[in-house]
Homo-oligomer: A and B are copies of this chain.
Amino acid sequence: MSFVQYPADHPFPIQNLPYGVFSTDEQPATRPGVAIGDYILDLAALSKTAHWAKSPVDASVFQTANLDAFVALEPEDWASFRAFLTDILGPSSTLKADADAVLVPRTAKSTHMHLPIRVGDYTDFYASYEHAFNAGVLIRGPENALQPNWKHLPVGYHGRASSIVISGTPFHRPTGQILDKPTDKQPIFAPCRKLDYELETAFIYGGSPTKLGQRLSPSEARKHIFGLVLMNDWSARDIQTWEYVPLGPFLSKNFCTTIAPWIVTPAALEPFKVKQYEHEPALLPYLDDPEGYNYAIPLQLDIKTAESDTYSHVATSDMRHTYYTFAQMIAHHSATGCNIRPSDMMGSGTLSVPSIDDAPNDDGLGSLLERSRLGRKPFALNDQRTDMTWLRDGDSVRITGVAKGDGYNIGFGECEGTVLPAVA
């Protein structure tokens, strides 16, 4: 319970306490905060008051433009600071008398969210069995759907950090090299015709950096997970098809990646641990993670067209649908000795839910590639659009996630972006 009032089903109760970075019209400097109900606890402001006396973390850590300094502290610091927050936001906290000075209305038009960290390196995995299988069936057929390596390692690729944007940032439809007709030999330079979303979750590595050559076991790696955010890995499928052999997706993935503003911590997600996937064949020992788990967090994807005022439901997935645990992804990433630094971000890959009777569960598909069967099977988006295949200009895509706990909810906020027309 908190002295801040909110309804029982609120996404940001005191059990959540996600971290973000915000500014206000009155105070345009970006600064770290914690969501509590419909407010943001301004950590920079709090750190300048007498209430900070009991904080286990130095004030300077939050008197900065982002959360990088806090993310670089140790897991014990995150835990003790969470205890401090739980106490200072508690029902009998003396902060209540000074609340006006440190609580900012979260949903006011004058409050703006920003990227919570400066991402160093960004890696995206491809770890949902269902998504990899569905995509493989569409591209190569059911016999060869999964590549030979897929069940042995979390397939991943390095992504682009510069174009990671905060929810609410619109982006232009990318223009690039595509084949006008699939049999063409000569590409054209044209606006992407097969613009897609990918319903994902990302996690942020924190704590000490590893050294070059240092490997982390999954159990060591797990402690480094600072928090989780919703992510949309926008993808240009036609650009991807033409460019990706032999070195993988490049421009088809780097024009925009949207994340939600709130980083939800593993501490808040403790009650939502579920069994990890069974691994058959068994994984190599360096990936073995007997204590590993996934999180059961229902995720929803909705689309609003330019002609509509309301969002239409398109997909329901769940964060639990990765074949590899986040800890295994980090362990694999460090296997060759690649060093990992605080504020590095790693994505899960598109999260699709298990098939039903060998047929994809349309509501559970995390990309349009799967949902529209590569554009061959249009579906009804809402009353206004019955022939949905790929994203059109003006479409807004919103990912949300809320876990239902015992008497409270843990929300992840919104990851939203709108497609602007291609630049001429």
Contact = CB atoms under 8 A, between A and B. Distances in A.
B157 A250 contact: yes
Nearest to A172: B213
A350 to B, nearest CB: 12
A359 interface: no
B159 A158 contact: yes
Contacts of A252: 336
Interface extent on A, as a size class? 35 or more
A94 to B, nearest CB: 42
Nearest to A124: B247
B155 A337 contact: no
Contact of A254 (B158, B159, B245, B423): B158
Contact of A212 (B153, B159, B165, B286): B165
Interface in A333-357: 333, 335-341, 344
Interface stretch (A80-88, A236-244, A303-311, A317-325): A236-244
A120 B212 contact: no
Nearest to A249: B247
Contacts of A109: none
Contacts of A255: 212-213, 336-338
A188 interface: yes
A340 to B, nearest CB: 7
Interface stretch (A62-70, A173-181, A363-371): A173-181
B162 A337 contact: no
B333 A251 contact: yes
A22 interface: no
What secondary structure prevails in chain A residues at the interface with B?
A: loop
Given A152-B187, A248-B247, A284-B189, A256 B337 contact: yes
A160 B332 contact: no
A186 interface: yes
Interface in A199-220: 209, 212-215
A195 B116 CA distance: 38
A244 B246 contact: yes
A177 B152 contact: yes
A287 to B, nearest CB: 8
A321 to B, nearest CB: 19
A187 B149 contact: yes
A423 B213 CA distance: 7
A162 B336 contact: no
A420 to B, nearest CB: 8
B247 A332 contact: no
A123 B186 CA distance: 25
A148 interface: yes
Contact of A335 (B176, B248, B281, B340): B176
A156 B247 contact: yes
Contacts of A251: 332-333, 335-336, 338
Given A155-B243, A158-B160, 5 more contacts: A152-B186, A163-B337, A188-B284, A212-B256, A248-B248
17 contacts: A121-B160, A147-B245, A149-B245, A153-B177, A155-B243, A157-B247, A157-B250, A158-B159, A162-B209, A163-B212, A186-B281, A187-B284, A213-B423, A248-B248, A251-B336, A255-B336, A255-B337
